[in-house]
Homo-oligomer: A and B are copies of this chain.
């Protein structure tokens, strides 16, 4: 049965909190965005910094074999990152797998949106350790 919007949102928040915890565990400061609310300014799901690098990250978790990113999400992430001064990244966790991190260039073009399959994630994705090593 398809999960409700509320359930998906709760799972999304939980996934973001998991990443926040991972970044703090290696001493990188990290915050979750409150979301756009009634105003529609672009904002990444989480924003991370370690004094020299800043990462703006869109976070996805899925039980499917492929996850899509809307053109709007990608455009917003790019725009925010350019203005703020951060590297745009996508974090994705497939069920039963570890987190992987991809740049926007690594995503698969699928017409109007972009996508990451399990196969693409394991081929091009960086692990948390790879992403954060100096």
Q: Give the interface of A toward B (CB within 8 A).
A: 13, 17, 20-21, 24, 27-35, 37-39, 41-44, 47, 49-52, 54, 80, 82-86
Contacts and interface: CB of A to CB of B under 8 A. Distances in A.
Number of copies of this chain that the complex holds: 2
B20 A41 contact: yes
B29 A83 contact: yes
A17 B37 contact: yes
Nearest to A43: B31
A85 B51 contact: yes
Nearest to A48: B84
A51 B54 CA distance: 11
Given A31-B33, A83-B29, A85-B49, A41 B24 contact: yes
